[in-house]
Amino acid sequence: MRMVINGEDRDVKEGITISALLTELELEPDVTVVQRNGDIVNRDAFDTTQLSEGDVLELVRFVGGG
C-alpha cells in the first residue's frame, strides 16, 4: 500500500500499525510524534491504529542536546 511519509511516497505493508511502522523505520515511539492526515495520534493508540492507503504521515523525533 502507498502513503506519504515526511513528504516522500513510500510503500508499506497492508494493515501495518503505527507502532510496526516506527519499528520498521527504527524510530523510538517514546520520542516520536506522529501526525496522520493532519491529526496528532496519541502514543497510546500507536499499537492499534492501522494505516490506510493514501495516508499522509509526518514523523517528528525529539532529540536532546545542549
For 5-27, how does the pLDDT look when each residue is reduced to its tens digit (9 = 90+)?
Answer: 999 999 999 999 999 999 999 99
Fold exhibited by the domain 2-61: Ubiquitin-like (UB roll) (3.10.20)
Please state, for a pLDDT cut of 90, what percent of the chain lies above it. Answer: 91
Cell (9 digits) for 28: 523510538
Q: Is the pLDDT of residue 59 over 90?
A: yes
Answer yes or no: are the C-beta atoms of 3 and 54 closer than 8 Å: yes
DSSP string, 30-62: GGEEEEETTEEEPGGGTTT-B--TT-EEEEEE-
pTM of the model: 0.90
C-alpha span between 54 and 48 (Å, rounded): 18
C-alpha span between 56 and 66 (Å, rounded): 32
C-alpha span between 21 and 25 (Å, rounded): 6
